[in-house]
Chain A
Amino acid sequence: MITLNHYLILSGLLFAIGLVGVVRRKNLLMLFFATEIMLNAANLAFAATSSYYHDLTGQMFAFFIIAVAASEVAVGLGLLILLYKKYGSINLDDFTIMKG
């Protein structure tokens, strides 16, 4: 029997994987993937809790997050392409012009 706890543990694991990706990865594209994983971890938790409480509010939230994530990726990828065209790199270590 798969209980709510299983879903939440899975969601936590996914979030941790995403977080590690955000922290460790240097490639901006990978950073995007990692954030997507984190967002989807949140979606999973929302959907699971929603079904557990028989309340649709959580699933509505999940839809919102999917919509926001989609538009964010659309804009983000556009910027990423521009960045690559301008500097020829999407490695974070190459962009330290704001060093104090």
Chain B
Amino acid sequence: MENYVYIALFAPLAGSLFAALFSQRPKALVTGVVTSTLLFISFVASVILLNHVHHEGAVHVTLMDWISAGDMSIPFGFNIDQVTAVMMTVVTLVSTVVHVYSNGYMDHDKSFNRFFSYLSAFVFSMMVLVMSDNFLGLFIGWEGVGVCSWLLIGFWYHKADVTRDVNPSISPSWAANEAFIMNRIADLGMLVGIFLIYWNIGSLQYADVFAAVPSMNHGMLVTIGIFLFIGAMGKSAQFPLHTWLADAMEGPTPVSALIHAATMVTAGVYLVIRANPLYSAIPEVSYFIAVLGTFVAIFAASMALVNRDLKRIIAYSTLSQLGYMFAAAGLGAYWVALFHLAAHAFFKALLFLGAGNVMHAMDDELDIFKMGGLKKAMRWTYLYMGLASLALAGIWPLAGFFSKDTILEAAFNEHTYGIWLVLWFTAGLTAFYSFRQVFLTFAGDERYKPLGFHPHEVQKYVLWALSPLAILAVIFGWFKEPFMEFVTQFLPAYEMSEHTEHNVVILTVVTTAIALGGIIFAWMRYYKGLKRDEKVEQSLPYRILLNQYYIPILYERVFSKPYAALSKVFWEDVDQQVVDATVDGIASVIQESGDSSRKIQTGNLSDYLKLMSGGALVLVALVLFAAMQN
């Protein structure tokens, strides 16, 4: 089995290095094909491992001793348990689809080879993140995905900065830096958490750490839990570190699908699930996680209601669904969080890739107000996006129905009715904005025609490549019971109380009702075509939502600008006046002394002999003086 672990882990790395060889060359189809094939191999190995873990239990391998200094010993080890196996399978499956898709999507891009190199490097980092058996390996993967995310958001780095009115994300390189810096802030928290773990337990292996949790001081556990969760908040874009995710949509759409929907942003949820023994021991922090997740769910959904940008709507919906996952994890329903994570990965990747098809057809236009009626030209994409939106809205029998419903049941079961109510209402908002987007894009009048677009469906093989995701978006929910049995071999089981069991039918009906209500409302308003209401669009709540509650502007005013001003002070007053002045002073002293002592080099041997004799005499005098002292 060890070999399958290595194949699953290193196949993407091999693909990345191979593609990197061609990075400076014009497009070579071979890079796309090779990386996709290697990803598929990795996927097959992951499935074999999943099967093995299912029947035989966890696999543990140690690649090498990595850091050993004094008492510290950190092996480079991998542990494939139930959670990891699920994550590996999800990651490699979505990655494979995205790689194949990118062959079509990036067809005309001159940096085709570079793109595949980055994309495979990302998958490798993500695999390190989920497979590591200790916190440090997790952190390496964590930083690796951060770097790849930065590289890929800023993939079109040559685009110039524009103002916020033209493009809220300003430019790809700006968005990439924003994402990277936000994550850096959060990673500091995570690093502190890891230091505290090592400080208190003396090991970073998951097994040792979680075994030591019951005997630890409660206050210290709370501190560690909070710091680790700060790391998770950054990576999973939870409030208040959420602004980077919507701006990350500047990256190519396959990147948004893979990194900023299906895999990387769920790393925070993965961390909380992984550290479940820790979070189970600190219910107050867990409750905070649940409340924050719930808040983010409705907060992000509200911004999605009014946005006109196809990709941003999906980004906010990702944010909202991440909130659901955190809510579930915070309530102790870890397996439900993992289930929603997997289901979400499938339908959200499908939704994004469908949006990519639309962008392709519309020459990178993203404004859904300029689309409409695309269903004639893009029947399959309509089907895929419709399916994905139904799954996202939580309509029976699609994947989202099962996962989201279980989260709501868990909220009900914990008697946290406030959380339940907000999540329930958010489910309605989710259904509304998803179908607002679908109808504005695909149904109604063909607003793109006067603008001179000629939409066309994408290549056949791209559509075929999406089919696994579409199938999973439909059927994944049917495997809820086997999934639960499988992952609860490792994760704590979550039992619904009798009271909840009793009400489960009512809960399901109520949830489905609000989801259907949202869809019907969207249908009534947008199916026939777009009727813009100036009064609504000028109203204050609408503008607040459209401007993301003015949070990016607030951050700019409160953090970016003062920080820039402070940096300017340090630059001009401290760096230039003190540091540079000191260094320049030393240099000019040396230069001037050299200049003045240059005069003794007359070129005349006689002068040199005089100097030499004088020097010798001085030395003799010194020796005599020293001798007389004795």
Contacts and interface: CB of A to CB of B under 8 A. Distances in A.
Contacts of A23: 606, 609-610, 613
Contacts of A88: none
B601 A100 contact: yes
B609 A96 contact: no
B613 A22 contact: yes
Nearest to A96: B603
Given A23-B610, A96-B603, A99-B604, 19 more contacts: A23-B606, A23-B609, A23-B613, A25-B606, A26-B606, A92-B605, A92-B606, A95-B603, A95-B604, A95-B605, A96-B602, A98-B601, A98-B603, A99-B601, A99-B602, A100-B598, A100-B601, A100-B602, A100-B603
9 contacts: A92-B605, A93-B604, A95-B603, A98-B601, A99-B602, A99-B604, A100-B598, A100-B602, A100-B603
Nearest to B611: A23
A23 B610 CA distance: 5
Interface in B563-617: 598, 601-606, 609-610, 613
A98 B613 CA distance: 20
A100 B601 CA distance: 5
A7 B609 CA distance: 27
Contact of A92 (B598, B601, B604, B613): B604
Given A22-B609, A22-B613, A23-B610, A96 B601 contact: no
B605 A99 contact: no
Interface string B527-549: 00000000000000000000000
A5 B267 CA distance: 94
Contacts of B601: 98-100
A97 interface: yes
A96 B613 contact: no
Interface residues of B, number: 10
Interface in A75-100: 92-93, 95-100
Q: Taking chain A's interface residues, is the majority helix, strand, or loop, or is none over half, making it mixed?
A: loop
A15 to B, nearest CB: 11
Nearest to A94: B604
Interface string A57-83: 000000000000000000000000000
Contacts of B603: 95-100
Contacts of B602: 96, 99-100
B606 A93 contact: yes
A19 interface: yes
Size range of the chain A interface in the assembly? 10 to 19
Nearest to A99: B603
A32 to B, nearest CB: 13
Interface of B is mostly: helix
Interface of B: 598, 601-606, 609-610, 613
A60 B609 CA distance: 29
A34 B609 CA distance: 12
A19 B604 CA distance: 17
Interface string A14-36: 00000100110110000000000
A96 B602 CA distance: 7
B595 to A, nearest CB: 11
Contacts of B605: 92, 95
A19 B606 contact: no
A64 B488 CA distance: 97
A19 B602 CA distance: 21
Contacts of A25: 606
Contacts of B604: 92-93, 95-96, 99
Nearest to B605: A92
A98 B593 CA distance: 20
B613 A19 contact: yes
A51 to B, nearest CB: 25
Contacts of A99: 601-604
A33 B214 CA distance: 96
Contacts of A96: 602-604
A98 to B, nearest CB: 4
A74 B620 CA distance: 31
Ordered nearest first, which 8 A-B pairs have the shortest CB separation?
Answer: A99-B603, A100-B601, A96-B603, A98-B603, A92-B606, A96-B604, A23-B610, A92-B605
Nearest to A91: B606
A98 B604 CA distance: 8
A93 to B, nearest CB: 6
Contacts of A93: 604, 606
A25 B605 CA distance: 11
A9 B75 CA distance: 79
A27 to B, nearest CB: 10
Contacts of A100: 598, 601-603
A28 to B, nearest CB: 8
A92 B603 CA distance: 10
A75 to B, nearest CB: 17
Contacts of A95: 603-605
A95 B609 CA distance: 14
A70 B601 CA distance: 31
A95 B613 CA distance: 20
Nearest to B598: A100
B40 to A, nearest CB: 72
Nearest to A97: B603
A92 B606 CA distance: 7
Contacts of A92: 604-606
A67 B183 CA distance: 81
Nearest to B613: A23
A16 B605 CA distance: 19
A24 to B, nearest CB: 8
Contacts of B598: 100
A33 to B, nearest CB: 14
Contacts of A22: 609, 613
A22 B601 CA distance: 18
Nearest to A19: B613
Interface in A1-57: 19, 22-23, 25-26
A25 B601 CA distance: 19
A10 B604 CA distance: 31
